[in-house]
Structure 1
């Protein structure tokens, strides 16, 4: 059975990978493992050692602490992973026009208030 901390860290890796627009295959190639291994890391089925955590954080261009952000001592995520939000963040990065970004912010704000 996967340890809750390994599951939470794996979820964070998945979230950060999606936000960066990276596929499991690309991350696997950069780490030097199979994409199936990345899947196991992301599910928490396989643990990542300290050196692997540092390597993954570097590839995702985040500090190692980002992999543990908002995870309590029992491994419970303070704020559960929101895959849709991660995908929106990924797509947001592709919008280069400031006016378009402002319009989208206004739309999201309006929808959240109507919700």
Structure 2
């Protein structure tokens, strides 16, 4: 059985790309376009990891990280392409809230794999 990874991304093109990338890495992606959808998926499916975009309309990835609580997956990866604030500042906030790894868009498949495994190989 493939390890499940929740993917929270509001951009449909980026979400599709992440789903394809995770599938190629041997994961079972659980795509979500909103924080509430992702929280429901995490609580129902119990994934081993979650990848969350940070800047989104309404609730954002920081809300997602804070609202996970006891349902937090073993690995939490925050991603951002920046926006009004620099990616570094936003990703530092995500790290402070509990993200295990952060990636600045665009990132490589290898970067994503390493972020998901903590550099330890397979999840």
TM-score over 0.5 for the alignment? Answer: no
More strand by share: 2
Bigger Rg, structure 1 or 2: 1
So what's the TM-score if we normalise by structure 2?
Answer: 0.28
More helix by share: 1
